[in-house]
């Protein structure tokens, strides 16, 4: 057994379904999945029911996180068509503003230019604006970031051309960062055809040309984020399957397998999954008594069942990976070991 110690990982893109859809996930189950995957901090998305677009709903969600989260949690505020006047209030207690310019799960979406301009003009920072912006929408938000001098973070980049455009924007000095997901790095449109609803998410799985492009241009990627988007098996097998797949418990094993294959290094994993996420979202430095232990030699097959996430399935089932989270220590307390979550609900902290 080769055990290495890594700093607690940070996932800057997690869907926890609080409030309103806790049959898919809640803070207790989602943060248990986070710990099992080696994440000690996660940032939760606002496309809940109702969406997190007012100070009241943000406060209620923070209180629920404080009472039930097993790892540290930050919460995004969502941009709605009618809430730009609330952004200064929402900024105090959120890890960033999330704007959806493209189709997603739930009704949160802005495609009216005047409203977008209002949000870019009003968001006070210093936290970034995280955007779901694909293809032409990406060019649109890069223009808005330049004009309003706002720090933007591009969520789940999935196409080669998008990453090339982000690279050009960075070369021009634009305040832009970006994330890619493990599913866009490890699966392509052929897998989508094989997986049916379990291969459906936004943005969709892309061609092999695009998937390979993400690896070729990995030096322009700031962080790996899971876009953990849990839905139940019954929902996925319905006639209208919602988009999204769980990812917290498989992200690190997949990335460690890529290290084993020579595609990146351990120090790149630390940068992409811990250091850069903390820097981009101004999170506190990892405490000395918070770390994870990983067996880099463990070879295992990703199972169909036995997950902490309430989704209870994985699109990667059947894949052999090398590398496994053995133990997680949060502020001196053993919170995960030998595949058992020991963390009590409420031991996580709410950030911001
Ligand atoms: C996400 C979800 O289910 O909330 N689904 C997805 O396919 N990624 C929404 C999103 O991230 O846009
Ligand atoms: Zn998402």
CATH of 3-341, one of 3.40.50.1700, 3.30.460.80, 3.30.230.10, 3.20.20.140: 3.20.20.140
Distance CA 72, CA 164 (A): 33
Q: Name the residue with the closest Cα to ligand 1, atom 12.
A: 104
Beta bridge partners of residue 118, listed in sequence order: none
Residue spans of the domains in the chain: they are 3-341
User: Which protein residue has the closest C-alpha to ligand 1 atom 6?
Assistant: 244
pLDDT 10s digit of each residue in the chain, 352 long? 799 999 999 999 999 999 999 999 999 999 999 999 999 999 999 999 999 999 999 999 999 999 999 999 999 999 999 999 999 999 999 999 999 998 878 789 998 999 999 999 999 999 999 999 999 999 999 999 999 999 999 999 999 999 999 999 999 999 999 999 999 999 999 999 999 999 999 999 999 999 999 999 999 999 999 999 999 999 999 999 999 999 999 999 999 999 999 999 999 999 999 999 999 999 999 889 999 999 999 999 999 999 999 999 999 999 999 999 999 999 999 999 999 999 999 999 999 9
Q: In this structure, what token pair is assigned to residue 163?
A: 């990453």
Q: Is 310 close to ligand 1, i.e. is its CB under 6 Å away? A: no
Question: 243 CB less than 6 Å from ligand 1?
Answer: yes
Q: Is the CB of 78 under 6 A from ligand 1?
A: no
Q: How far is the CA of 3 from the centre of ligand 2 (A)?
A: 32
**Residue 78 bridge partners (DSSP):** 98
Question: What is the distance in A from the centroid of ligand 1 to the CA of 243?
Answer: 6
124, 88 contact by CB (below 8 A): yes
Q: Is the CB of 105 under 6 A from ligand 1?
A: yes
CA torsion, ordered 111, 277, 86, 61, to nearest 10 deg: 110
Q: Cα(15) to centroid of ligand 2, in Å?
A: 6
Give the atom of ligand 1 at the shortest distance from the alpha carbon of 202: 7
Residues 100 and 124: their CA atoms lie apart, in Å, by 18
Q: Can you read off the two tokens belonging to residue 350?
A: 């709410």
């Amino acid at each position: 057994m080769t055990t290495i110690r890594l700093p607690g990982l940070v996932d800057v893109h997690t869907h926890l379904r609080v409030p309103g859809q806790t049959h898919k996930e809640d803070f207790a189950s989602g943060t248990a999945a986070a710990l099992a995957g080696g994440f000690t901090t996660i940032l939760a998305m606002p496309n809940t029911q109702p969406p997190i677009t007012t100070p009241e709903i943000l406060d209620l969600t923070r209180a629920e996180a404080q009472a039930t989260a097993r790892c540290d949690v930050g919460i995004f505020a969502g941009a709605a068509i009618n809430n730009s006047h609330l952004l200064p209030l929402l900024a105090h207690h959120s890890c960033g503003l999330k704007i959806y310019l493209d189709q997603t799960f739930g009704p949160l979406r802005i495609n009216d230019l005047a409203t977008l301009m209002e949000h870019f003009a009003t968001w006070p920072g210093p936290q970034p604006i995280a955007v779901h912006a694909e293809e032409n929408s990406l060019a649109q938000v890069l223009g808005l970031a330049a004009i309003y001098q706002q720090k933007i973070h591009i969520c789940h980049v999935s196409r080669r051309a998008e990453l090339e455009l982000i690279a050009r924007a960075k070369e021009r000095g634009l305040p832009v960062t970006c994330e890619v997901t493990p599913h866009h790095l490890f699966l392509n449109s052929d897998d989508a055809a094989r997986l049916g609803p379990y291969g459906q998410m936004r943005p969709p799985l892309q061609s092999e040309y695009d998937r390979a492009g993400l690896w070729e241009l990995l030096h322009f990627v700031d962080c790996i984020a899971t876009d953990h988007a849990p839905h139940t098996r019954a929902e996925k097998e319905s006639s209208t399957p919602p988009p999204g797949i769980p990812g917290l418990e498989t992200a690190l094993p997949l990335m460690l397998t890529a290290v084993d294959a020579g595609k990146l290094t351990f120090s790149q994993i630390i940068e992409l999954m811990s250091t850069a996420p903390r820097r981009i979202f101004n999170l506190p430095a990892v405490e000395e008594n918070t770390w994870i232990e990983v067996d880099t030699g463990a070879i295992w097959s990703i199972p169909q069942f036995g997950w902490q996430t309430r989704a209870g399935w994985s699109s990667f089932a059947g894949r052999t990976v090398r590398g496994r989270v053995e133990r997680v220590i949060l502020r001196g307390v053993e919170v995960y070991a030998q595949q058992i979550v020991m963390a009590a609900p409420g031991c996580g902290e709410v950030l911001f």
